[in-house]
Amino acid sequence: MTRGLTIALDGMGGDHGPATVIGGADIASVRHPDVRFLIFGDEAQMRPLLNEHPRVAAVSEIVHTEVSIAMDDKPSQALRRGRKTSSMWLAIDAVKTGRAQAAVSAGNTGALMAMAKVILKTMPNVERPALAAMWPTARGESIVLDLGATIGPDALQLVQFAVMGEAYARVIFGLEHPTVGLLNIGEEEVKGTEQVKDAAQMLRDAKLPMRFHGFVEGDDISKGTVDVVVTDGYTGNIALKTAEGTVRLIVEFLRAAMASSILSRIGYLFAQGAFRALSKKLDPRASNGALFLGLNGLVVKSHGGTDGLGYAAAIDVAIDVASADLLKKIVTDLDALKNIELAGGGRKNSISEESEAAIS
């Protein structure tokens, strides 16, 4: 159901600005000709690009903005400077006012998170948002969350991430009962931080309609052991960047190996098709687009350095979650959590300040 759907785009976000945004919208338009775009940004920069991409021009409304958030603006700076005037703010605001069903930005993550929280506010029964992304695995893809929105969540907040991630997996993978695991340093119940141990206990006790697998370890992520991997924003962010760094290192090793002798160069020529297929499999653009969960509106973060192809993947995520009405599903699912708040014992809210600090 993409008919009547409008996606708001922050035209100025990302390392390459409007060119990537309009180029990405063009690719997405081919796949979803019914979807309309509401693009916020500097009209003088965007108009020539729209002339080059008439398909985008035909389905887009442009809203001129003077202010754009820099990639290195601190969230507090961005909020001060960009409030009600920046392309980023206005794209999110369009979701709040209902002019768009989801927003996409390739802008600075901290600023986007801060603005989205201020404009959209957290959902009922959610205290902290989470950033959820796709992770390529041996079985296809899994969702991993949180990747950096919340530092130091307590057990109940981890349980909320699990519920939101599960709903997201149902929508994006089309699974009726996705499996959910909690990231830990071992599968035994006695291992790990108090938060993950308590969260596991809650998920076991809560009798939610969820296939909770228990703990998973770091190497289970790429094995695809579960469809949804739940962790805190600190660990999730470090795990994601560690994996990205590992991929880059191996690709570098592989390149050096293939260039190391005449024989290997000849081998490379023969196997070129296979290397192209491999490089497509490892292409981070295919899984671009991380979704903020737990807010009263859908906001997708595109990688800042991506190109049109990657940006189109982020738009696809926005379209998929908006057309499946993910927010309503999450609100319903979270409602079942009301009763487990007590089961979890004392809340540990001492980390709230810390979480705030992470985005300031």
In the complex, which residues of this chain contact a second copy (CB under 8 A)? Answer: 74, 136-138, 148, 151-152, 183-185, 188, 190-194, 197, 217-223, 231, 233-235, 237-250, 252-254, 257-258, 260-261, 263-264, 266-275, 277-278, 281-282, 354, 357-358, 360
* Six-digit token string for 133: 């992304």
- C-beta closer to a second copy: residue 11 or 236: 236
Question: What's the closest the beta carbon of residue 187 comes to a second copy, in angstroms?
Answer: 11
| CA–CA separation, 344 and 349 (whole Å) | 13
- C-beta closer to a second copy: residue 115 or 221: 221
Residues 6+ apart with CB under 8 A from 190: 197
Which residues sit opposite 39 in a β-bridge? 9, 62
- C-beta closer to a second copy: residue 177 or 253: 253
Question: What's the closest the beta carbon of residue 270 comes to a second copy, in angstroms?
Answer: 3
Long-range contacts of 117-121 (CB under 8 A, 24+ apart): 117/295, 117/359, 118/79, 119/89, 119/92, 119/93, 119/95, 119/297, 120/92, 120/95, 120/96, 120/295, 120/296, 120/297, 120/299, 121/295, 121/296
Please calculate the CA angle 185-189-192 and round it to the nearest 5 degrees: 35
Question: What's the closest the beta carbon of residue 303 comes to a second copy, in angstroms?
Answer: 13
- C-beta closer to a second copy: residue 127 or 283: 283
* Six-digit token string for 98: 């209902």
- C-beta closer to a second copy: residue 1 or 263: 263
Question: What's the closest the beta carbon of residue 104 comes to a second copy, in angstroms?
Answer: 22
- C-beta closer to a second copy: residue 87 or 231: 231
The answer to whether the beta carbons of residues 172 and 321 sit under 8 Å apart is yes
Question: What's the closest the beta carbon of residue 80 comes to a second copy, in angstroms?
Answer: 16
Residue with tokens 């603005």: 115
Question: What's the closest the beta carbon of residue 148 comes to a second copy, in angstroms?
Answer: 5
Question: What's the closest the beta carbon of residue 129 comes to a second copy, in angstroms?
Answer: 15
| CA–CA separation, 233 and 146 (whole Å) | 5
* Six-digit token string for 260: 């190391």
- C-beta closer to a second copy: residue 61 or 244: 244
| CA–CA separation, 23 and 53 (whole Å) | 8
